[in-house]
């Protein structure tokens, strides 16, 4: 505010949004460790998804405010303290550079990878602010400030859209990213005595937790054999596809009609009394 630079203010908004996002991620991570209870039988894993969606909405709000001010300044340029802008942005680059160096080996940790991407984005926007400050110092061209601000808005928007899209996919019970439904069906059909598979559903509880339910038509077998079959399939699904929560229903004498989906108003026939063990991973 002291420098009068909208680009610097946009960069500050970007960093503040990242800080809020990390705070929400920390809160969500703490909530996700809460055990399942009678009201939340899958636990609290989706607290992180709700936090991510809230983060995306905050980002959009920040973008809107900065973009409106940028358009106003394009129409009516205002003086900017170029030297203060450059010095402040260089300090931001130094801090973000140190943080990025500290996170240079995130491995497979999604939280660390996301944090590294945030910091790299902050580095890019701070570099843009330095450019705007130098242009103003050397040429006095004040339009560089709102133009760089709009560029930073685009950078923030890309992150917000990605977060919102991934969150919406989970909330809509989408199939986990990279999951091959046909391959899962083939794995189930490979089970001994399995004749066919229907009502196969795989959904995302959270990015780290996938769930599956399916009806298997099997050859007549004992209860013990059916339980062994289910346990074998659960292990294979977990090892190959990372599905931690599996519910499998076995059908022999009265299989469900193939053209009906579970939960529809027409799906009201009695189910066979064959135990269908399930496991929560």
- List, for residues 185-197, the tens digit of each pLDDT value: 999 999 999 999 9
Inform me whether the pLDDT recorded for 203 exceeds 90. no
Name the DSSP letter for residue 100: H
Q: Using CA atoms, how far apart are residues 58 and 119, in angstroms rounded to an integer?
A: 18
Q: What is the pLDDT of residue 276?
A: 44
Higher pLDDT, 257 or 179: 179
Using pLDDT thresholds of 50, 70 and 90, give the confidence band for residue 28. Answer: low
**Average pLDDT score over residue span 99-115:** 71
Inform me whether the pLDDT recorded for 134 exceeds 50. yes
Question: Mean pLDDT across the chain, nearest whole number?
Answer: 81
Strand-pair partners of 215: 198, 249
Inform me whether the pLDDT recorded for 90 exceeds 60. yes
Inform me whether the pLDDT recorded for 275 exceeds 50. no
Question: Tokens standing for 15?
Answer: 């960093």
Q: Using CA atoms, how far apart are residues 189 and 24, in angstroms rounded to an integer?
A: 42
**Average pLDDT score over residue span 12-41:** 73
Say what the pTM is: 0.66
**CA distances (Å), 3 to each of 28, 66, 138, 185, in order?**
36, 16, 16, 61
Place of tokens 């760089």: 148
3-state secondary structure of 214: strand
Inform me whether the pLDDT recorded for 279 exceeds 80. no
Contact yes or no for 20/159 (Cβ under 8 A):
no
Q: Using CA atoms, how far apart are residues 18 and 36, in angstroms rounded to an integer?
A: 30
Domains and CATH numbers, the chain: 6-171 (1.20.1510.10), 181-280 (3.30.70.1350)
Place of tokens 């991510």: 52
* HSE value, Cβ hemisphere, 13 Å, CA-based, for 67: 12
- Phi and psi, residue 258, nearest 5°: -65, -25
The 10 Å Cβ neighbour count of residue 172 is 9
pLDDT > 90: percent of the chain:
30
**Average pLDDT score over residue span 22-38:** 72
Contact yes or no for 251/215 (Cβ under 8 A):
yes
- The per-residue pLDDT for range 217-267, each reduced to its tens digit, is 999 989 899 999 999 999 999 999 989 889 999 998 766 765 454 444 344
Using pLDDT thresholds of 50, 70 and 90, give the confidence band for residue 280. Answer: very low
Name the DSSP letter for residue 176: P
Q: What is the pLDDT of residue 32?
A: 66
Inform me whether the pLDDT recorded for 110 exceeds 60. no
């Amino acid at each position: 505010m002291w420098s009068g630079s909208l680009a610097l203010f946009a960069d500050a908004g970007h960093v503040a949004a990242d800080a809020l996002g990390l705070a929400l991620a920390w809160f969500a991570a703490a909530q996700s460790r809460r055990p399942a209870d009678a009201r939340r039988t899958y636990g609290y894993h989706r607290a992180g998804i709700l936090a991510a969606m809230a983060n995306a909405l905050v980002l959009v709000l920040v973008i809107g405010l900065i973009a409106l001010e940028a358009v106003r300044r394009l129409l009516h340029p205002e003086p900017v303290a170029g030297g203060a802008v450059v010095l402040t942005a260089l300090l931001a680059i130094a801090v973000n550079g140190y943080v990025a160096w500290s996170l240079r080996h995130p491995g497979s940790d999604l939280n660390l990878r996301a944090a590294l991407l945030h910091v790299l984005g902050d580095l890019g926007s701070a570099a843009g602010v330095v450019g705007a400050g130098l242009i103003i110092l050397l040429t006095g061209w004040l339009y560089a400030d709102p133009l760089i601000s709009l560029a930073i808005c685009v950078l923030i928007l890309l992150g917000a859209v990605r977060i919102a899209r991934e969150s919406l996919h989970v909330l809509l019970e989408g199939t986990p990213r990279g999951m091959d439904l046909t391959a899962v069906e083939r794995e189930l059909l490979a089970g001994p005595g399995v004749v066919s598979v229907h009502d196969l559903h795989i959904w995302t509880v959270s990015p780290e937790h996938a769930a599956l339910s399916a009806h298997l038509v099997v050859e007549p077998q004992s209860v013990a054999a059916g339980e062994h079959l289910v346990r074998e399939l659960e292990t294979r699904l977990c090892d190959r596809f990372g599905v931690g929560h599996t519910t499998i229903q076995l059908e022999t004498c009265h299989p469900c009609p193939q053209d009906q989906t579970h939960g529809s108003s027409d799906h009201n026939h009695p189910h066979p009394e064959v135990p269908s063990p399930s496991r929560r991973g």
